[in-house]
Amino acid sequence: MSTIPSKSCWLRLTLLKCTELNVILLNLPVILFLLHGSLYLDKQIVINHESSRLCFVLKLLYVSLCHWSMYHVAPVLFNKSYSHTLLFLILCRKANIFVSFLVDIALGLLLISWLYRENRISKLADTLVPVADHVAKELQELLEWLMGAPAGLKMNRALDQVLGRFFLYHIHLWISYIHLMSPFIERILWYVGLSACLGLTFALSILSDIVALLTFHIYCFYVYGARLYCLKIYGLSSLWRLFRGKKWNVLRQRVDSCSYDLDQLFIGTLLFTILLFLLPTTALYYLVFTLLRLVVVLFQGVIHLSVDFINSFPLFAIVLRICRPYRLAEGVKFNVLCQEPGTPLHLMMEINPLKCSSVLQCYRMPTYSCSPKDSWAALCKKLFVGELIYPWKQKTAKTD
């Protein structure tokens, strides 16, 4: 005969299943992220950065939740007897995430209270369209100045007129787009301001995306000028090798000697001369639009650094270091109290607290590689040859 479990046995089984379900639910974000292949705890966290800063912050929030889940269930999942130091480090990490989240929400609520007071949203919407028109007008005057004789430089007249009219047409399209969107700007700003209840970093990320949309015409000008300038630079370098009887060996990745026919040398020399005399006109447009693009990138960089600072600053650890420095100890030292012959040696132990720089280094959350990837030398080289600049874009390594 089969035995029927008692009520206490059913209760123990139910509690066991509930505990297992709780562990699984808490660890579900970690499992999903590990399956996605983007989270590497204790080593490195790699996030593919898209063009939208808002998407990046949403991923950042998801990774923080994964950190919270992993720190909560790690002793249960792996069944290890953690030391007191490691458990304290885990608790500090959890507290830093929680406090940074609360500070982010509090700053966002302060921003909402400031925006919706004294009808500032309507005032901001009323000034946004005139500012956009003023920027477009300044760009139009700049292009008209470039189509003339800028700073007394003698430009190629035909190419100068073609490039100037091409960019002026895009400015007219942009002005039409701004005026088409003007009836909806106040409502858009109202919802954007309301999104600050999710945190100041959320609002700053939306602001970064709005700046990218409002300066999209500058980005297009920069891409057009950079592509045209880069094409001429690489064309001149290739024709310069042909002019000297050289060629680029693709297999050996070096420059080798090569014999060319007379027709090839004549056509190459002719094309080299044409491109060389057209280069100053293209380079001037490229220089102007690159400077405008760098101004926009600098403004977005300030926003990105602010978001990273809010997300990574260990506020809880800093407050703990100030209020209770003995909880964050770097080591101990012993002071001699009594040292007389024939008597026991009396020592007093004192705790050496961690330095603030060490606290920032140990407890600061990772910024997930949002900083520029190129050095100053590589950046200057890219600007010189006309390659596109994406300061916060991380290129993934190719794996076989």
pTM: 0.70
**Is 232 within the bounds of a domain?**
yes
**Is 392 within the bounds of a domain?**
no
The mean pLDDT value for 40-53 works out to 41
Is pLDDT above 50 for 188? yes
When divided into structural domains, the chain yields a total of 1
**Is 281 within the bounds of a domain?**
yes
DSSP string, 33-89: HHHHT---TTT-------S-HHHHHHHHHHHHHHHHHHHHHHHHHHT----HHHHHH
pLDDT tens string 162-186: 998 999 998 888 888 888 888 888 8
The pLDDT of residue 6 is 46
Residues 6+ apart with CB under 8 A from 70: 27, 30, 41
**Is 303 within the bounds of a domain?**
yes
**Is 186 within the bounds of a domain?**
yes
The pLDDT of residue 23 is 39
Long-range interactions of 183-186: CB distance < 8 A, separation 24+: 185/125, 185/128, 185/129, 186/121, 186/122, 186/125
Least confident among 222-236, 251-265, 366-380, 385-399: 385-399
Residue-range definition of the domain harbouring residue 144:
118-313+367-385
CB atoms within 10 A of CB 14: 10
**Is 400 within the bounds of a domain?**
no
**Is 141 within the bounds of a domain?**
yes
Terminal C-alpha separation, the chain = 61
For the ranges 67-81, 204-218, 236-250, 272-286, the maximum mean pLDDT occurs at 272-286
User: What percent of the chain is predicted at pLDDT more than 70?
Assistant: 72
